[in-house]
Amino acid sequence: MSADLTGLTWREGEPADAAAIVRALDEWWEQRLEHCVRPQLLEHFGDTTLIVERDGELVAFLVGWLSQRFPDAAYVHFMGVRRDHRRLGLGLELYRRFAALARERGRTRLMAETGGFNRRSIAFHTSIGFTIEPGDEVVDGIPVHHDTGGIGGDYVVFSMDLREGSL
């Protein structure tokens, strides 16, 4: 299903968007993640962040950047869609636009991560063509990387080859 883009405004991120994204993480995901999105992040990666609004209100976002360590990769840090805008194809459209941006800038691989507990996110990412990368262990049939530093929990790593025409 493709997104109904009628009435939506798409734009790059700005430092001032950090507060709305943090509120969205709290409300949409019911997760306290204010430490993960700061204005400085959007100051430096605003041109690779996608903000989607309806009537001036945030309804979806994708915070991503071009990897410095892996020159072939673009990385999605966070992506979210407000509950009343889910199942319209908006998440897929965010990834399509980010993939196009990554290709335009010479990237051939898309990477993303999610919490090992987040079955809905794992299902979404695999449904749009991501491959789950091998982890430290398989838990409930899903390869996970253990959070050995004790900072944010076990996580799943996804990748997608952008040369294969996906997205």
State the residue range of the domain holding 131.
108-167
CA-CA-CA-CA dihedral for 125, 130, 136, 139, to nearest 10: 40
Predicted local distance difference test score (pLDDT) of residue 36:
65
Predicted local distance difference test score (pLDDT) of residue 42:
81
Predicted local distance difference test score (pLDDT) of residue 17:
95
Tell whether 115 and 167 lie within a shared domain: yes
Interval 119-166: pLDDT, tens: 999 999 999 999 999 999 998 899 999 877 667 688 999 999 999 877
Instruction: Please indicate, yes or no, if residue 69 is contained in any of the structural domains.
Output: no
- What CATH number is attached to the domain comprising 21? 3.40.630.30
Predicted local distance difference test score (pLDDT) of residue 101:
97
Q: Which residues contact 66 (CB under 8 A, 6 or more apart)?
A: 48, 73, 74, 75, 102, 105, 107
**In this model, does residue 102 exceed pLDDT 60?**
yes
Tell whether 10 and 89 lie within a shared domain: yes
Confidence of residue 31 (pLDDT cuts 50, 70, 90): low
Predicted local distance difference test score (pLDDT) of residue 28:
76
Instruction: Please indicate, yes or no, if residue 25 is contained in any of the structural domains.
Output: yes
Among 20-34, 84-98, 140-154, the range with the most confident prediction by mean pLDDT is: 84-98
Tell whether 34 and 91 lie within a shared domain: yes
Tell whether 27 and 83 lie within a shared domain: yes
Predicted local distance difference test score (pLDDT) of residue 3:
47
Tell whether 11 and 31 lie within a shared domain: yes
Tell whether 86 and 127 lie within a shared domain: no
Q: How many domains does the chain have?
A: 2
Please, which residues bridge with residue 62 across strands?
Answer: 50, 79
Residue with tokens 């299902």: 123
**Cβ-contact 61, 28 below 8 angstroms:** no
**What is the average per-residue pLDDT within 92-97?**
96
DSSP the chain: -----TTEEEEE--TTHHHHHHHHHHHHS----GGG--HHHHHHHGGGEEEEEETTEEEEEEEEEE-SS-TTEEEEEEEEE-GGGTTSSHHHHHHHHHHHHHHHTT--EEEEEEETT-HHHHHHHHHTT-EEPP-SEEETTEEEB--TTSSS--EEEEEEEGGGT--
